[in-house]
Amino acid sequence: MGMFNNRKRWRVPAGVEPTELDKKVMAFESRGALVPKRSLIRTPEEIEGIRKSGVINTAILDLVGEKIHAGMSTLEIDEIVHTYTIEHGAIPATLGYEGYPKSVCTSINEVVCHGIPSAKEILKEGDIINVDCTTILDGYYADASRMFVIGKTTPQKQKLVDVAKECLEIGMAAAKPFGFVGDIGNAIQQHAHKYGFSVVRDLCGHGVGIKFHDDPEVLHYGKKGTGMLLVPGMVFTIEPMVNMGTWKVFIDSADGWTVITEDELPSAQWEHTFLMTETGLEILTH
């Protein structure tokens, strides 16, 4: 019996009276559901801290949207992000993270994610670019990304960008309190496939807020009713990466970071940080 208890993820501290939330989660766990650790449930103070970080993160992406244009380098985007972040008392989370050298990720066309800004990489008419920004304010993390279309692009690339955004919205709608992570992935996968697109399987959304990456792992494909239980108070990203061709990807050996579609066809991604509430998801990175 003692060994079984040691394997339980949801533990009420000794001497603390279980709440109704505790009882509900433990009932799911007793039926074999994968539940989060109790420590993943954010306090009101933590949520407010993440929300404030989200305000800065959103303002950064708004500013990029105002300034992005054909002829600028992705290094200029990095400089915009870095300067605004520091001026507002925050820290760019990617800078120095596991050796990553810049303050933002800039991923153009066939680059799925983790593209490194460079003075040599110049935006041109028709490009689609994902700008992925994570901000730390007073120790709290907020993470979001947006697609930007440079000038006018092809109908196929525009459709990819639009469907990727719809996938994020549909994934958000599928996330319900006491539902499962698999519900999100299933909804996203079905929508992408309806348009002949694929969903990257090697990367996923993640818990965020107190750390850069935490539980749960939010896969963007899968079956309903699988994965971790979604409990009010959890904070995580949904960030579907939708490819025009195959879902398979590779990492550029030249820098060890840049993720590229295996067939080098375009990819698109949108991301928000969300709070699970008792009624559904709240976006913390508006």
Domain boundaries of the chain, sorted by first residue: 37-283
245 falls in which pLDDT band (50, 70, 90)? very high
Mean pLDDT, the chain, integer: 96
For range 222-247, the mean pLDDT: 98
Supply the pLDDT for residue 1: 26
User: What is the CATH topology of the domain spanning 37-283?
Assistant: Creatine Amidinohydrolase (3.90.230)
pLDDT at 7: 63
pLDDT over 70 percentage in the chain:
98
**Average pLDDT rounded to a whole number, residues 62-77:** 98
106-133 confidence digits (pLDDT tens): 999 999 999 999 999 999 999 999 999 9
Backbone φ, ψ for residue 48 (5° rounding): -65, -40
Write down the pLDDT at residue 3.
32
Give the pLDDT confidence score for residue 286 in this predicted structure. 85
Tokens at residue 100, please?
């990553």
Bridging pattern class, strands 281-283 and 105-108: unpaired
Q: Give the per-residue pLDDT at 5.
A: 40
pLDDT at position 93 over 60: yes
Query: pLDDT-based confidence at 176, cuts 50/70/90?
Result: very high
* Whether residue 4 has pLDDT greater than 70: no
Rounded to whole angstroms, how far apart are CA atoms 64 and 225?
38
pLDDT tens, position by position, 72-84: 999 999 999 999 9
